[in-house]
């Protein structure tokens, strides 16, 4: 079935394999945008012949208008690119026309539909996902273990390569905000200069003073139950305009990893532990150490705190800095002053 990820799409495009019809489906707008840019470069060339590009809005366009643009002979030769935004708002007639078109596409045309929400059970999606001439490109938010592969693709697009450890390190440092990862990659590429390969030390030095690093330091301070340091870093993050929701999401992510770390804390193989946690081996030891600062029940209860804080950030009139301060206090506070003992075997 021709249902592919953005990483698989990039691999196809590098081999100059262009399908006639694409549906970019999913809520991750950055993935859809970057995938469209790659297709545009291949179809129209890096000079981007705008005369051969046609853009429509799904809610306003008639299917005949789209089909006429697809059939238009390119003014300067080459291929045409037809883009339909908000394709989930296309009329039933337009969807049926595209279903027919996929069966016999025009060789000089490439069609791209973009939709944040597209019913996977619809006939159009089913036909596109089963045709060798079409593809459904999944643009949903990436899982943590998919981020390093995506980083690798983005670094290659910037003319460099990145080591596996460096890609995992960058993912751990920045998190899952793709826009912020791209900004970090741009800094790193400038930092390495003419060197072809990005290593862990390059990521460490190039991103050392960025907001992303500060968020990483915040979650580290929380994991070590250092309230004074955590609150100081939080203040700095907010003063520099870091979004409260991003801070909350990164703290929640950190605790998800700590829960998984509890499951393998007695393993002696650092690389296997890192693989299970989905982090760089460089950080595996830190997560194992930090997970022992919390009892199993504490770790589980934190997610009730995260849910409450998420609701308050999005709907409460309470200042967001107060919400996050209370969140950090609730994450770090211990009812008894002594550290939690390590897990007993089987516990």
For the domain with range 145-206, which CATH number is right: 4.10.520.10, 1.10.8.60, 3.40.50.2300, 1.20.1420.20? 1.10.8.60
- The 3-state DSSP class for residue 61 equals coil
DSSP 205: H
Q: Are 321 and 238 in contact (CB under 8 A)?
A: yes
Q: Are 194 and 225 in contact (CB under 8 A)?
A: no
Using alpha carbons, select from 197, 145, 147 the residue that is nearest to residue 170.
Answer: 147
Angle between helices 320-332 and 227-239 (to 10 degrees): 160
Angle between helices 147-157 and 178-192 (to 10 degrees): 50
- Residues carrying CATH 1.20.272.10, the chain: 211-332
- Residues carrying CATH 1.10.8.60, the chain: 145-206
Residue 75's pLDDT is what? 64
CA distance 261 to 281: 13
In CATH, the architecture of 211-332 is: Up-down Bundle (1.20)
CA distance 134 to 125: 10
Q: List, in sequence order, every beta strand (DSSP E) within 187-251.
A: 197-198
Using alpha carbons, select from 269, 265, 253, 267 the residue that is nearest to residue 291.
Answer: 265
Q: Band of the pLDDT at 345, cuts 50, 70, 90?
A: very low
Neighbours of 307 (CB within 10 A): 11
In tens, the pLDDT along 231-248 reads 999 998 888 788 888 889
In tens, the pLDDT along 208-238 reads 556 556 788 899 999 999 999 899 999 988 8
pTM exceeds 0.95: no
Using alpha carbons, select from 16, 34, 25, 18 the residue that is nearest to residue 155.
Answer: 34
CA distance 226 to 222: 6
- For residues 248-274, one letter each, b for 16 or more C-beta atoms within 10 angstroms of the residue's C-beta and e for the rest, the string is bbbbbbbbbbbebbbebbeeeeeeebb
- The 3-state DSSP class for residue 30 equals helix
In CATH, the architecture of 3-141 is: 3-Layer(aba) Sandwich (3.40)
CA distance 294 to 291: 6
- The 3-state DSSP class for residue 83 equals strand
Residue 201's pLDDT is what? 86
Evaluate if residue 179 carries a pLDDT over 80. Answer: no
In tens, the pLDDT along 135-159 reads 999 888 888 788 899 999 899 988 8
Q: How far, in Å, are 165, 170, 192, 209, 213 from residue 187 at the CA level?
A: 18, 12, 9, 11, 13
Using alpha carbons, select from 29, 31, 37, 38 the residue that is nearest to residue 11.
Answer: 38
CA distance 298 to 334: 9
Residue 199's pLDDT is what? 92
- Residue by residue, DSSP assigns 100-133 as HHHHS--TTEEEEEEESS--TTSHHHHHHHH-TT
- The 3-state DSSP class for residue 77 equals coil
In tens, the pLDDT along 240-298 reads 788 888 889 889 989 999 998 988 877 666 677 777 887 766 678 888 899 999 988 88
Q: Are 30 and 5 in contact (CB under 8 A)?
A: no
Using alpha carbons, select from 89, 81, 36, 22 the residue that is nearest to residue 62.
Answer: 89
Q: How far, in Å, are 35, 107, 269, 282 from residue 9 at the CA level?
A: 8, 19, 35, 30
Q: Are 83 and 52 in contact (CB under 8 A)?
A: no
């Amino acid at each position: 079935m021709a249902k592919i990820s953005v990483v698989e799409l990039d691999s196809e495009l590098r081999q100059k394999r262009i399908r006639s019809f694409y549906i970019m489906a999913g809520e991750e707008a950055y993935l859809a945008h970057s995938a469209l840019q790659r297709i545009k470069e291949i179809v129209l060339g890096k000079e981007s012949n705008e005369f051969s590009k046609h853009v429509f809005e799904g809610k306003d366009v008639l299917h005949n208008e789209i089909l006429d643009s697809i059939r238009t002979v390119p003014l300067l030769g080459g291929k045409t690119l037809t883009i339909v935004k908000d394709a989930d708002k296309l009329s039933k007639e337009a969807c049926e026309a595209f279903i027919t078109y996929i069966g016999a596409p025009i060789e000089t045309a490439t069609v791209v539909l973009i939709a944040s929400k597209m019913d996977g059970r619809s006939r159009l999606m089913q036909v596109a996902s089963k045709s060798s001439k079409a593809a459904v490109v999944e643009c949903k938010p990436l899982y943590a273990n998919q981020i390093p592969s995506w980083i690798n693709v983005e670094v290659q697009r910037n003319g460099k390569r990145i080591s596996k450890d460096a890609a995992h390190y960058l993912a751990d440092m920045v998190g899952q905000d793709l826009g912020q990862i791209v900004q970090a990659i741009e800094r790193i590429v400038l930092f390495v200069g003419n060197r072809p390969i990005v290593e862990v030390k390059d990521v460490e030095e190039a991103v050392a003073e960025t907001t992303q690093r500060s968020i990483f330091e915040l979650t580290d301070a929380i994991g070590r139950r250092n309230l004074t340091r955590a609150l100081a870093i939080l203040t700095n993050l907010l003063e520099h305009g870091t979004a409260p929701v991003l801070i909350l999401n990164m703290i929640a992510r950190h605790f998800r990893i700590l829960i998984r770390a509890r499951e393998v804390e007695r393993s002696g193989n650092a690389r296997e532990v890192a693989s299970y946690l989905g982090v760089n081996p460089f950080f595996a030891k830190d997560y194992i150490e930090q997970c022992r600062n919390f009892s199993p029940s504490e770790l589980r209860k934190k997610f009730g705190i995260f849910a409450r804080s998420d609701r308050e950030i999005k709907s409460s009139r309470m200042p967001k800095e107060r919400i996050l301060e209370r969140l950090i206090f609730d994450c770090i506070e211990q009812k008894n002053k002594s550290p939690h003992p390590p897990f007993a075997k089987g516990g």
